[in-house]
Structure formats: C-alpha cells, structure tokens
Chains A and B, each alone.
Chain A
Amino acid sequence: DAGVTQSPTHLIKTRGQHVTLRCSPISGHKSVSWYQQVLGQGPQFIFQYYEKEERGRGNFPDRFSARQFPNYSSELNVNALLLGDSALYLCASSLDRPGTIYTDTQYFGPGTRLTVL
C-alpha cells in the first residue's frame, strides 16, 4: 500500500503570497494532521481533521487554514506569507479508531519544504 503522499516537495514563495499544500493519507485512514517543523526543532501541531471535521487546532494565526475532502485528502493553506513561515510542513495520517485515538500511530509523509523569500 502507498504511504502518505504530499505535494509539492519543494516550494519557493515571496512574502505576502499565498500557498496551498496537499496531502493524501494512507488508504483507510480517516484522520489527517498537519505539522510545521522549523529547522532544529520538533514538529509543531497545526491542525487535525477527522471525517472532514476539524478536531484540533494548534497555536497558529488565522492565516493558516485547512480542509479535508470526502476522499480524506487534505489541503493546508497559508495566506500573507511571512519569512518565519519557512519550514518543513509535514502531513500525518492515522486510523483514529473511536475511543483509542491516543494509541493510533501517525504515519508521516515526506513533507513539503517551503521557503519564503
């Protein structure tokens, strides 16, 4: 089975622009999470979607938004890009069986490396 896929792999934008990152989960996984990883740090949680509903949101400004589609793929949108948005954006998918969310492994995609100039 295919793993989590993300596109594009690399992206260069300028300040003030908008960007859309895409993620396809592992087949059968209904949950998608987005993380931002700045160089030298661990990933920081941005959003989680389950069955097309937002389940959780991290401490990120409203410039960050996301959605999940009926096929469980997801998009992360970032408006009005800042230099500080330069990072590796990771998407993770998980089964998230009801009642045992914390036990289910999140499997990560290869990431999208965003550079804001």
Chain B
Amino acid sequence: AQKITQTQPGMFVQEKEAVTLDCTYDTSDPSYGLFWYKQPSSGEMIFLIYQGSYDQQNATEGRYSLNFQKARKSANLVISASQLGDSAMYFCAMREAPTGKSTFGDGTTLTVKP
C-alpha cells in the first residue's frame, strides 16, 4: 500500500527566507506522480507542483521547487522568499497508476512571520 509521511506538523519561517517542507513516500509501483498542494484556512486545495517518478530533473514552479531524491524516497518542497500569504497547510500526495487514487500525508502547517 502507498504511504506518505510528513514529519513536521508545524513550521515557522521568517518573511523573505526559504523553507523546506519534508515528505517521504513508500510504494512498490515504479510509476507514480508526486504532488504538493496548499490548503489555506478557506479549505480549498490549491495545486502547487508536480514531479513524475521518471523525471530526471527536479520540478520548479516560480518560488516553488521540489527536491526529488528517488533512492531515498523523498520529495521535499522548497519555498523561496517566503511571503505572509504562504501561511497555510501544505500536503504532499502521491498518485498511483491503476486507479488514479491520490494518497495524502497529514500535512504541515506553515506560518510565515513578518
């Protein structure tokens, strides 16, 4: 069975600094996709970045980058130049091939301090 582990329940970062949110995963399937979502207090899940299991390069999307270490089964999210609006819950998720089901971690609450 697939499993996502996010070991940091809460993180604090100073505005304009970079922060890394950890995510490790477990699967026996060679084909999978890794996704990061942001969930503000309003509840809507906002897609941030994607990394495929066969991708050779780490994904980047603006201030977001994904540090993908396949051998260690980790997919950490790096947010550069943090902004106050980045304060939210962040979820790591893995999507599997046959059913398209996504398995989510329990999330990390990020608080950006002014």
Contacts and interface: CB of A to CB of B under 8 A. Distances in A.
A74 interface: no
B99 to A, nearest CB: 3
B105 A58 contact: no
A45 to B, nearest CB: 5
Nearest to B35: A105
Interface string A32-49: 010100001111110010
Contacts of A106: 35, 47, 95, 102
Contacts of A101: 95, 97-98, 100
Interface size class of A (residues with CB under 8 A): 20 to 34
A113 B100 CA distance: 24
A47 B106 CA distance: 19
B100 A109 contact: no
B32 interface: yes
Which range holds the interface residue count of chain B?
Answer: 20 to 34
In the complex, the 8 A-B pairs of residues with the closest C-beta atoms, listed nearest first:
A56-B99, A42-B104, A108-B45, A102-B33, A102-B97, A101-B100, A45-B101, A102-B95
Nearest to A9: B43
A41 B89 CA distance: 10
Interface in B18-71: 31-33, 35, 37, 42-47, 50, 52-53
Contacts of A109: 44
Given A102-B31, A105-B50, A42 B97 contact: no
A45 B32 contact: no
B102 A88 contact: no
B44 A42 contact: no
15 contacts: A33-B100, A42-B104, A42-B105, A55-B100, A56-B100, A56-B101, A92-B45, A102-B32, A104-B33, A105-B35, A105-B47, A107-B47, A108-B37, A109-B44, A111-B45
